[in-house]
Structures are given as structure tokens and as C-alpha cells.
Structure 1
Amino acid sequence: MTFRLPMMPSSTILEVIPSLQYSCFRRNLSYIPTSIPPSTQHLDFSFNYLTTLQRHMFPRLPLLQHLDLTRCHIQNIDNGAFFNVRNLSVLVLTGNPLKYFGRSSINVLEKIHKLVLVEIGLLSLDSLNLQNLTSLKELKLGTNRILCVALPTYSVTFKGFTLLDLHRNNISVIRADDTSVLRQMGSNVTLILSRNPISFIETGAFAGLYFKEINLFDTFISSTVVRDITGGLSGLNVIRLKIGNFEESTWQETVGLLLDYICYQFYIHYCFILLRGYRMSRQQECSYDAFVIYSSKDETWVLDELVENLEKGHPPIQLCLHERDFQAGKSITSNIVDEGIMGSRKVIVVVSQHFLNSSWCQFEFELAQSWLVLRRNASIIIIILEDVEDKKIKRLFRLHKYLKKNTYLKWKGNALSNIRFWARLRKAIIAKN
């Protein structure tokens, strides 16, 4: 619909756009009004009274994308209840004491991306029929009574699935069979298991699994449980790990250091290598003066300048270089931890454009920073090898934060600056922490 404003040129037209959002929030309604405009895309019907969602209860809303039915006292959902809103992308049913799902009640929502079933009294995923929801990306099932992380076998058809939220359920045991479907769902999945009373993880349950993130906050009931289940976590590959906050205060600080830990395809048992290293570091003598983190594309500068001036200078400074000093036949990650970080008094980070583009360099830096926090007498020396774009450094939050708080060295390449550069670098490496 259009209309012409008075006293305006004939070419000026104001278009009236129908409202895309409609709210019935907390209106004590026990029915769905038929007056909801068919153009509505977002409907907030939370905090009302709908004991049963009956067949065709909603008016025809072909454009509706987001439907919020939070705490509407819903106990039953009949087949066909969502037929007239079957183009939904988001459905929120949080806080409803659901006792009955019609077998096809939710299964009709073939275009849905996000399904929120938090605090609905759910006992098992088997009671849901989501077979047709192949576009589902996020499934939130927190604060229920679910006992198992296993997904139904049809879940492997969910295209682009990114989030399984099972926080605050009753999951105490995770067996290898429970993760078989997750194993087939790609590497971009975030798994949230926070506040579950996990006491046992079967060996191999997470072996070969790839996740974007795993959240295990407030999950293990004690540090003793963690030591007992490390075998079950070994072989896990994860980009972001959140773990810690035991009820036992003696472990809160130590394990809390691993919170929000970021790495590249990080095997979980290296977290515990770091913790063991924290306890053993006083008894272990370092083999190297400094471990050098650098991109292989900057190897020429490292060998011709860094090695030449430090190892052949007086006194000689022994460097650990990954291409020269890592043990053959040992995994890269083990070498980084054992030979590089734990085996050196200092860590030198050579920042360049190549460094910023390297996932392995970023991984090594993140690992070194975590070790720096664990072993408080360690230190990181940053060398800015060339001018780099500030926006690229800002994308690496921890590096950007470290550079803002700590003094770093900048390589300029001229004779006078070089003299000062090598003197300052030697002093920083030799200095006791």
C-alpha cells in the first residue's frame, strides 16, 4: 500500500511497511489471536497460558521465522500444531512442563535452524522425532533430565550442525558408543556439557573427535575425577576448551588457568602435560636458553640473523628451533611442549605477516602463554620482524593484549639499530626472571 504526502512533489512516495514483529508477551492469553498479521516474522508469545497446542491452533503465518513460547504452561503438543507456521527458523519452548509430543508435531518444521527445548522435563532425546529437520544447526537441551549425550542416528543428516547444548542435565557417564553420531557430524560443532555430574568417561569415547569448542565448566565433581578420566579424553581434537571450577578450592586456581584455552587441533591430554610440567618444572633443568616461535617462511632471517648473532656470540645462547631440534618420530605437539616450552627458560616469538597467517604459530604462542601463566617465572620476548597491519594483530586477541602490556623489540635492519637490538635481546634472554 502506498499514499502520496500532501504538498510534496509528485515523485515523492512514502511506502508503508507492515510490522514484522508482533508481541503478546505476558497477556494471560489462552489462545492464539487470529488478528496476528500474516506478514509477521517474529512472534513473542512468551508467558501466557496454552496448556495444549492443538492442531492448526496458529493462524496461517507463512512468513513467520521466530516463535517464542517461553513459559506458556504447555503440556501437550498435538500433531499439526505448527502446520500453519511450518516455515519457522527458530522455535523456543523454554520452561514448559511438556508431557506429550505428537510424533510429527515438531518434525513438520523442515526449515528450522534453531530449536530451544530448555527446562521442559526431557528425559531422553529418543522421545523427540526430529528426523525431517535436516536444516537444524542449533539444538539447546539444557536444564533437563537427560542421562546420555548420544544423538539419534538420523542426526547425521543435519546439514551444517554447529551446537549441541546439554548443560545442567544428569549426564554422569560418557561411553564410546554415545559419541558415534557426533563423530560423523563434522568439525564445526560446539558441545556444551557444563554442570553435568560427570564421573566416568570410557577410554576412546572422544578419540578422533573434532570439535570447535567443548564447555566443561563446573562438570567434574573433583580433581580426583579429572585424573581418573584423562584416558577417556585423550585423542580429542578441539579448538576452544573450557574446563575448570571444581568444588574443591585447591584446584580452582590451577585448572582455572586452562579456561578459555585456544589452540589448533589441540589434543586434550596436553593440558595435563602442562599441569604435570607445572609440578615438575622445579626438578627439571632446561636444555635451551630460548625456544623460538616463528614461521618457516621467516627461516632465512632466523638462521642468518638470530642464530648467527646469539649462538655464535659471547656468551653463546642456545636456541631451540623446531626444524632443527625437535625429536624425530615424536608428534609436533609433544615436541612443542616437551622440547620447546618446558625445555627452555625463555620463549622468543618472531612476529611477521607470515606468523599472523600461520595457525601453527598462533597455536605455539597460545600454548606458551598458558605455560607462562602456569610457571610464573617464565617469560616471552616478542620481536616485531616487520611492519604488520594493526587490524591483523587485533584479530589475535591474546597477542594484541600481550603487546599492549609488555615491551617488545622491533627489528629495523640498519647497523646502529642492530647493535642496540642485539644488546637488548641478549640482556632479556640472560636475565633471571
Structure 2
Amino acid sequence: MTSVPRHLPSSATHLDLSYNHIPNLSPRDFENLHSLEELTMWIAGDLHIDSGTFVGLQRLRSLRFLGNGYLTFGKETFKHLSSLQTLEIPIKSVTHMPEYVFSNLTNLSKLSIRVPAQVKADYTLLPPSLLRGLRYLEEFSFDGSSLANLSRESFADSQNLKKVHIELLFLECGQIEILNSLKNLKQ
């Protein structure tokens, strides 16, 4: 498929759009799926998500984008997902991520960001605001090449973190000490 099927039952709670070639998600794609709780997509190429795509999905708890492709999205893409608890996204580079993009995800407990292998050679910066507002975040996973500007401020709002998985090619001196400041982090 190259687009989200129209006329899906409005009572659908789970939707798996894996192994398709959908290049863009727009507000029309999910406009009648108000009962949706889980959305999964496997992406092989680029996928752009328009702002407003997830308006009306107040029950969505899990949003997972898997595969070898990557997403592009705007600052307000995830704005309306107040019930979201799990978010897994592949991105080309976090340097292109808008400031405070996840700040409205107040119930998010698990965030996984992966930079696909084909672009891992890029020097990746984690925006200091990336985890802002995520007070209930318990698990954070980042798979990329480097976290050059990781700081205590990056985790200031995420004091409930219990599990951090960071897979990097480069780790700068002092970055491990920053993680040691998280009180609930399991050793």
C-alpha cells in the first residue's frame, strides 16, 4: 500500500501498517479512528508526518515506527497524544528534530530513538530540550553515533528514569557521570 486505507472501522483499537510504502501521513489518515490505542508501522524509506496527523487519537497509548527508514516531522506532530505511553521512532538525525517536540507527551513512559545504521556516521547531537516535560519517563533508549551535548539539563524533568539504553560509537568524557545523577536509574 502507498497510503493508509480509507474506511477502516472506527472501533479499531490496533492498527498495523507494516511492510507498506507509505511516504506521508496526513490528518485525513486517522480522522475517524478515535478508539485507536496502538499504531505500528514498518518503514523502509522516508516517512513524513504532517502536523495534525494524530489529532483525535486521544486514546493512542503506543506509537511504534520500526524498520530501516526514518521519519521527518514538525514541532507539533505529537502535540495531541496526551495518552501516549510508548513511542519508538527512527530518525535520520536528531539535529533536525524541533525543539520541545515531545514536551506535550506528559504520560510517556518509554521513548526509543534510533538513527538507522546507514546514517550512523553522522555526528548526532541530542537537543537539550528533547526530554523536557517527560516527568513520567521510565525508559529511554537512544541508538546513534554520539551524544555530543548530553548534559544534566537533558534529564532535568526525567527524574523517574529507571532504565537508559544508549548505544553509541562515541562517548565523551563525563557523560557517564551525568547518568549517575539520576536517582532511580537501575545499575
TM over 0.5: yes
Distance in 2 (alpha carbons) for counterparts of 1:52 and 1:37:
21
Tell me if structure 2 keeps the 8 A contact 1:34–1:59: no
Q: How far apart are 1:130 and its partner, in Å?
A: 1.8
2:124 counterpart residue number: 147
Q: How far apart are 1:150 and its partner, in Å?
A: 5.3
Counterpart pick for 2:110 among 138, 152, 162: 138
2:170 counterpart residue number: 197
**TM-score (structure 1 length as normaliser):** 0.37
Counterpart pick for 1:170 among 124, 138, 145: 145
User: Is the aligned partner of 1:210 residue 2:183?
Assistant: yes
User: Is the aligned partner of 1:121 residue 2:92?
Assistant: yes
Tell me if structure 1 keeps the 8 A contact 2:146–2:168: no
**TM-score (structure 2 length as normaliser):** 0.79
The alignment partner of 2:136 has SS state of coil
Q: How far apart are 1:125 and its partner, in Å?
A: 7.3
1:46 counterpart residue number: 18
- 1:97-137 residue CA offsets vs partner (Å, 9 max, x unmatched): 33x4133222221211111013x313337436222111111
Matched ranges for 1:322-401 at <5 A? none
Matched ranges for 1:226-245 at <5 A? 239-240=186-187
Q: How far apart are 1:149 and its partner, in Å?
A: 4.8
Tell me if structure 1 keeps the 8 A contact 2:134–2:157: no
User: Is the aligned partner of 1:70 residue 2:42?
Assistant: yes
Distance in 2 (alpha carbons) for counterparts of 1:125 and 1:170:
15
1:157 counterpart residue number: 133
Distance in 1 (alpha carbons) for counterparts of 2:160 and 2:31:
40
The alignment partner of 1:57 has SS state of helix
Distance in 2 (alpha carbons) for counterparts of 1:184 and 1:125:
22
Change (3 A) 1:87 1:72: farther
Distance in 1 (alpha carbons) for counterparts of 2:33 and 2:152:
38
Q: How far apart are 1:63 and its partner, in Å?
A: 1.0
Q: How far apart are 1:182 and its partner, in Å?
A: 1.4
Distance in 1 (alpha carbons) for counterparts of 2:168 and 2:175:
19
Tell me if structure 1 keeps the 8 A contact 2:161–2:182: no
Change (3 A) 1:92 1:203: closer
Q: How far apart are 1:78 and its partner, in Å?
A: 1.1
Consecutive unaligned residues in structure 1, runs of 5 or more: 1-28, 213-238, 241-433
1:32 counterpart residue number: 4
Change (3 A) 1:125 1:196: farther
Tell me if structure 2 keeps the 8 A contact 1:174–1:201: no
Structure with greater Cα Rg: 1
Counterpart pick for 1:179 among 152, 174, 178: 152
Tell me if structure 2 keeps the 8 A contact 1:45–1:70: yes
Q: How far apart are 1:172 and its partner, in Å?
A: 5.8
Distance in 1 (alpha carbons) for counterparts of 2:149 and 2:77:
30
Counterpart pick for 1:82 among 30, 36, 54: 54
Distance in 1 (alpha carbons) for counterparts of 2:3 and 2:175:
48
User: 1 or 2, which has the higher helix percentage?
Assistant: 1
Distance in 2 (alpha carbons) for counterparts of 1:110 and 1:203:
31
Instruction: Give the number of the structure with larger relative contact order, counting CA–CA contacts within 8 Å between residues 6 or more apart.
Output: 2
Tell me if structure 2 keeps the 8 A contact 1:53–1:74: no
2:70 counterpart residue number: 97
Q: CA RMSD in A?
A: 2.8
Aligned length: 180
Distance in 2 (alpha carbons) for counterparts of 1:202 and 1:136:
24
Change (3 A) 1:203 1:60: closer
Q: How far apart are 1:174 and its partner, in Å?
A: 6.1
Distance in 1 (alpha carbons) for counterparts of 2:64 and 2:137:
18
